[in-house]
Structure 1
Amino acid sequence: MNQNPLREHTRVMGFGSYRPDIIVTNEDVCQWIDSSDEWIRQRTGIVTRHRAAEDVSVIDMAEGAARDALAAAGIDGSQLDAVILSTVTHPYPTPSGASLLAERLGATPAPAFDISAACAGYCYGVAQADSLVRSGTSEYVLVVGAEKLSDIIDNSERTISFLLGDGAGAVVIGPSDSPGIGPSIWGSDGSKWDAISMTGSSLQLRDHAPEGKAAGRIATANVEDDVAAESLWPTLRQDGQTVFRWAVWEMAKVAQQALDAAGVKPEELSAFVPHQANMRIIDELAKKLKIPDSVVIARDIADAGNTSAASIPLATHRLLQENPELSGGLSLQIGFGAGLVFGAQVIALP
């Protein structure tokens, strides 16, 4: 029986991003919750976050980031051998958002599938794309993290809604003559499954969606009135202290494992791109890992907020735009979030 010829190495060929036009300031947020710009900045480091217009979908944003990444990689959508979309905010349980994205990009009949791994979803996608290319199954794989979190939050909810933004980031991964993606360290801890979770049902009658929420949910049992619909509409919440402690203490260990697996020391890094969850978490991780001052640390959260699966590619794309000298250097990336799930790799920046 014949098998695919194996490839030894892979690399990230190009990054792309999509940032929605609507900017939500801390002053805007304080109209919905009893807070202040100073408190939000001190607790999270966030100044603004992007929100997508009602007529802009997750797939629209994913397409924008994907086309940007394809151009950076110098390939056409028809050359893609697989399309992976990481999102928790695609409005339909099925079919996958990736299949529609692949069609828009001219990638048909490439296999296309979604990943639901929240803020670690992009790193999960990189792990799978790396394996697909090295196994010989694919030559070029598109990985996109895209979220329209504004569809699944209640602006008056205090535990997480003020943190979140919309956006999309993408990469193209392909073969390489030298190591470009280190071993992936990934996993989950279901014992903390409810630390970040949705309340209410994700299945709604189209005509009973709360005002301002995206339509198109699949109907469930009879929804008698708008009050019932409001109570069922999914809202994201978190146990902030549990998530903070877990992220700081446990994710520092995961990040160190990714460095060790790649055979890389902190001082050999050019960049550190953790999930943009909270500025205090970012700073604590850098401190625990003893990241030197010579390493550029992504702090995209100040302007973009927490964009879940999109945060790492968005932040990396921005770093490369603002610091082109980082090209060719090594970057440690780590994602972590609801599940609780985590994933990390060292990559060579394109």
Structure 2
Amino acid sequence: MTSERIYSRIAGTGSYLPEKVLTNDDLAKFVDTSDEWIASRTGIRERHVAAEGETTSDLSVHAATRAMEAAGVSAADLDLIIVGTTTPDIIFPSTACLLQARLGANGCGAFDVNAACSGFLYALSIGDKFIRSGDAKTVLVVGAETLTRMVDWSERTTAVLFGDGAGAVVLKADSETGILSTHLHADGAKKELLWNPVGVSAGFRDDQPNAGVRIQMAGSDVFKYAVKALDSVVEETLEANGLDRHDIDWLIPHQANLRIIEATAKRLDMSMDRVIVTVDKHGNTSSGSVPLALDEAVRSGRVQRGQLLLLEAFGGGFTWGSALLRY
């Protein structure tokens, strides 16, 4: 007698964006840039910025509540909470613990995952493994960031890119097909191409004593590496599932740069009509990017139950990953 196979299925999605919107024209008032310069290089037109005192856990609460409502679950139903973030409220306790308390989900496991822009996919993969192993039946997975707190507003190459936001999904154990596979990778040797060189143990780098908590990036190098890495993980994902690229109904990519998104779509021979794009309205929200795009696609009616979705992301570390799922 064989036991029934368990899958983790996305039962509900949710998202939240801060009220304040910063357009490219707004940025041009205090940074040497323009709407044309930003849009032509990144595809970004505007981004949301957290209000003073508004934290990553604040954004997470809104996104999580909406996902739970969509899934029809309560705080008492949650077995595990995982938050992907690189901008936690405080060093400890984790943002997931802060979120747990605010949701009233006392007693379940809760922890953060820091994989920069790949954080949500790393967290999703972990949640999937907990459900497949039978250790959890209902898992809340959140990707949330207040990246604008790490932006040097005088540095136009990074100031124009980032925004704040949060997205969430509720995973539930199911006998019906859900997440088919996840694939995670990293290359820590490339850390200085995209990083924040400040920490608790390392402190400030000796050669950059005044760096502060801000994002540093070698844009062209990151672009080249990202395109190659995402090509590779897309191929890996399709091969692992015995699928052809034309089997994919929707590509839901990390929203960092429209040119990277277009390059991945071209590799898949996909029309941009089958790609979810929110980078123009959200900017790069790091861990929040993929779940924000997924929630928008679901709530707009574009993504339908039964469709095959490919999620992918690339971020500092370097980290990158993918998830293939039947929604």
TM-score normalised by L of structure 1: 0.87
> Is the aligned partner of 1:316 residue 2:314?
no
Q: Which residue among 262, 276, 299 is the counterpart of 2:277?
A: 299
Aligned counterparts of 1:7 and 1:85: Cα–Cα separation in 2: 26
Structure 1 residues 248 and 232, CA gap change in structure 2 (3 angstroms) = closer
Paired residues of 2:152 and 2:158 also in contact (CA < 8 A): no
- 2:251 is paired with a residue whose SS is strand
Q: Which residue among 89, 96, 101 is the counterpart of 1:91?
A: 89
Residue equivalent to 1:195:
193
**Where has structure 1 moved over 4 Å in runs of 4 or more?**
none
Aligned counterparts of 2:259 and 2:299: Cα–Cα separation in 1: 24
Q: Specify every segment of 5 or more residues in structure 2 that has no aligned partner in the other structure, as ranges.
A: none
Paired residues of 1:271 and 1:326 also in contact (CA < 8 A): no
> Is the aligned partner of 1:46 residue 2:62?
no
**How far is 1:174 from its partner?**
1.1
Residue equivalent to 1:55:
53
**How far is 1:30 from its partner?**
1.4
Paired residues of 2:181 and 2:325 also in contact (CA < 8 A): no
Q: Which residue among 195, 217, 232 is the counterpart of 1:238?
A: 217
Aligned counterparts of 1:202 and 1:52: Cα–Cα separation in 2: 23
Q: Which residue among 260, 270, 282 is the counterpart of 2:239?
A: 260
Aligned counterparts of 1:85 and 1:7: Cα–Cα separation in 2: 26
One-letter code aligned to 1:198: N
Please list the CA deviations of residues 49-86 of structure 1 after superposition, one character each: whole Å capped at 9, or x if unmatched. Answer: 00110121110100100000001111101110000011
Q: Which residue among 74, 79, 82 is the counterpart of 2:80?
A: 82
Aligned counterparts of 1:310 and 1:100: Cα–Cα separation in 2: 17
> Is the aligned partner of 1:11 residue 2:9?
yes
**How far is 1:341 from its partner?**
0.4
> Is the aligned partner of 1:290 residue 2:288?
no
Paired residues of 1:86 and 1:116 also in contact (CA < 8 A): yes
Q: Specify every segment of 5 or more residues in structure 1 that has no aligned partner in the other structure, as ranges.
A: 204-217, 222-229
Please list the CA deviations of residues 199-225 of structure 1 after superposition, one character each: whole Å capped at 9, or x if unmatched. Answer: 4x356xxxxxxxxxxxxxx9x89xxxx
**How far is 1:232 from its partner?**
5.0
- 2:156 is paired with a residue whose SS is coil
One-letter code aligned to 1:314: L
One-letter code aligned to 1:254: V
Paired residues of 1:50 and 1:304 also in contact (CA < 8 A): yes
- 1:182 is paired with a residue whose SS is strand
- 1:186 is paired with a residue whose SS is strand
- 1:172 is paired with a residue whose SS is strand
**How far is 1:282 from its partner?**
0.2
Paired residues of 2:50 and 2:164 also in contact (CA < 8 A): yes
Number of residue equivalences: 320
Paired residues of 1:6 and 1:135 also in contact (CA < 8 A): no
Aligned counterparts of 2:140 and 2:250: Cα–Cα separation in 1: 22
